[in-house]
């Protein structure tokens, strides 16, 4: 028997230590190319309190009234800095208590990807560099071919 929970209900269960892992499909492109919209499913488990650089975490973005899944970029004592793999810059510092869950599995068809923090960080850094090169090239192209 399946039961549907809202993210908020699941979060309350997670805080009590009673939340089962949940399988979700993301709506944005901020974690592309690792997580693809309308194609991949991500299994999220309640956080265990330990966060490593490269972990993929779920948190609430209260400013925009939505939920976000981004990579942990830096950890300092009681806070983390997150950044989506396909984003121009980091989200800003979050208290550890703001993290609602951690990605434990990504499913793409029959392919099952277990997120590896160190390997994921290497790929994310490369993707960020490629994005900068791409954006620079697009600006140059627009200036060269700009119509007057």
| Other residues' Cβ atoms within 10 Å of the Cβ of residue 55 | 24
Fold of 7-144: Umud Fragment, subunit A (2.10.109)
The more confident residue out of 52 and 19 is: 52
| Other residues' Cβ atoms within 10 Å of the Cβ of residue 116 | 12
Which stretch of 4-13, 35-44, 73-82, 114-123 has the lowest confidence by average pLDDT? 4-13
CB 91 within 8 A of CB 66: no
Read off the pTM: 0.84
- The whole-number average pLDDT for the span 102-111 is 96
Return d(Cα 70, Cα 24) in angstroms, integer: 14
Output DSSP code: residue 49: S
Largest CA-CA distance found in the chain, in angstroms, rounded:
64
Res 59: pLDDT: 93
Return d(Cα 106, Cα 120) in angstroms, integer: 13
Q: Band of the pLDDT at 54, cuts 50, 70, 90?
A: very high
């Amino acid at each position: 028997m399946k039961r549907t929970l809202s993210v908020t209900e699941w979060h309350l269960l997670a805080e009590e230590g009673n939340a089962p892992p949940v399988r979700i499909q993301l709506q944005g492109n901020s974690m592309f190319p690792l997580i693809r919209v309308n194609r991949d499913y991500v299994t999220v488990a309640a956080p265990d309190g330990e966060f490593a650089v490269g972990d993929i975490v779920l948190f609430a973005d209260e400013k925009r009234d939505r939920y976000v899944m981004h990579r942990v970029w830096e950890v300092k004592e009681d806070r983390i800095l997150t950044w989506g793999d396909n984003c121009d810059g980091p989200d800003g510092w979050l208290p550890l208590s703001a993290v609602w869950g951690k990605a434990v599995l990504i499913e793409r068809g029959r392919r099952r990807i277990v997120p590896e923090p160190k390997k994921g960080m290497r790929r994310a850094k490369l993707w960020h560099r490629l994005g900068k090169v791409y954006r620079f090239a697009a600006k140059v192209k627009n200036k060269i071919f700009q119509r007057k």
